[in-house]
Amino acid sequence: MRKLTALLAASLALACLTAATAMAGTTLTYANFPPAKTFPCIQMEHWKAEIEKRTGGEVSVQTFPGGTLLSAKNMFRGVQTGQADIGCISTSYYPGVFPLMSVVNLPVAFTTTEVASRVMWDLFRKYQPNEFADVKVVTMFTSAPSQIMSKEPVKTLADLNGMELRASGSILQILSGLGAQGVGMPQSQTPEALQKGVVKGLVSSFDVLKDFNFAESCRHETITNLPVYPFAVIMNKARWESLSPEIRKAIDDLGQEQAVWTGKYLDQHIQDSLNWSKETYQVEVHELTAEEHARIKELGAPLVDQWKTEAAKAGLDADAILADMLALKAKYEAQ
């Protein structure tokens, strides 16, 4: 009898707790490093709205753009330790930490963000890389192909000689091959570096001309089609495991859709941003010759071998991963 009473009391307590949790709902904090207007934050707000809708308001997401909760470089650790439930990282800001997914940062001439983002997500799903073992991956996407934005014109590659340009990841090495001086830093530090003259321009996708108003100081844009930067949205593992199966399903169902949505948004926004920059600041767009594009390609080639060596050191089947990436790229480009 006493056992039964205890059991009843325990079930009652559990029922009350469950009801209280349901009433209180679940709040998830989501940290991001760049300002609210930029595409990593636009996609964050889209994800928030979708998850709140799909869970019927049971989940509410509290977003923290602009590094207000975690900065670019603290993001990975901050999510692992639970300072934020969710965080958005640019894997290129963590050299050597993501041996598999950094394949997406290689110079393989992605032409759209949508294709690159689809490829990245599929690769992640297929390989479930160990580098993300300590966190739950919510979605992935990339930036658009990278171009040069500078104060002084870069009309030919020779104009790059000695020019300090902010970049990250594989692009730094290509820049040094071109005679420029790459300065590695997260995007969120670029406005100050440009303003102080530490750098004379940057290498990124054209969305930043409008979203950071870089068009005002960088009136010259040179089409280089350098690599895309990979991004991952990650969640604290224990927090993930504490969520109900229904909430987890809503999050999982959104993974690929979110990657595609972000890709489409950015592809369109690149065009809008460039048009806006031409109208507002009369920026000039410079095209390089076919020979100069070939030179850029040549400088990128050793990066593939370097990536393979690093990936093999991390115990990965580099050839298979690379072949899969190229096959996925071809498949989505054909669609």
Instruction: Please check whether residue 284 is in contact with residue 223, taking contact to mean a CB–CB distance below 8 angstroms.
Output: no
The answer to whether 113 contacts ligand DTR (rule: CB under 6 A) is no
Cα 19 versus chain centre, distance: 37
Retrieve residue 214's tokens: 């870089």
Instruction: Please check whether residue 286 is in contact with residue 223, taking contact to mean a CB–CB distance below 8 angstroms.
Output: yes
User: Contacts with ligand DTR: how many residues (CB under 6 A)?
Assistant: 14
> Cβ closer to ligand DTR: 38 or 258?
38
- According to CB under 6 A, which residues from 126 to 165 bind ligand DTR? 143, 146
> Cβ closer to ligand DTR: 55 or 146?
146
Quick one: which of 113, 150, 189, 204 contacts ligand DTR (CB under 6 A)?
204
The answer to whether 107 contacts ligand DTR (rule: CB under 6 A) is no
Instruction: Please check whether residue 30 is in contact with residue 63, taking contact to mean a CB–CB distance below 8 angstroms.
Output: yes
* Alpha carbons within 13 A on the beta-carbon side of 253: 10
Nearest to 258 by CA among 145, 140, 143: 140
- According to CB under 6 A, which residues from 32 to 61 bind ligand DTR? 34, 38-40
Q: Which amino acid is at 53?
A: K
The answer to whether 29 contacts ligand DTR (rule: CB under 6 A) is no
Residue 246 CB, nearest distance to ligand DTR (Å)? 32
Residue 207 CB, nearest distance to ligand DTR (Å)? 5
From 8-16, 200-208, 238-246, 321-329, give the range in contact with ligand DTR by CB under 6 A. Answer: 200-208
From 122-130, 203-211, 236-244, 303-311, give the range in contact with ligand DTR by CB under 6 A. Answer: 203-211
The answer to whether 267 contacts ligand DTR (rule: CB under 6 A) is no
Q: Which contiguous run of DSSP H or E holds residue 207?
A: helix 207-211
Any residues with CB less than 8 A from the CB of 293 and at least 6 apart, and which? 225
Retrieve residue 264's tokens: 């489409």
> d(Cα 176, Cα 306) in Å, to the nearest integer?
16
Residue 25 CB, nearest distance to ligand DTR (Å)? 30
Quick one: which of 90, 91, 105, 113 contacts ligand DTR (CB under 6 A)?
90
Quick one: which of 127, 229, 240, 265 contacts ligand DTR (CB under 6 A)?
229
> d(Cα 223, Cα 193) in Å, to the nearest integer?
22
- According to CB under 6 A, which residues from 276 to 335 bind ligand DTR? none
Q: Is 293 helix (H, G, I), strand (E, B) or coil?
A: helix
CA angle 119, 326, 41 (to 5 degrees): 25
> Cβ closer to ligand DTR: 47 or 240?
47
The contact set with ligand DTR (CB under 6 A) reads 34, 38-40, 90, 143, 146, 168, 187, 204-205, 207-208, 229
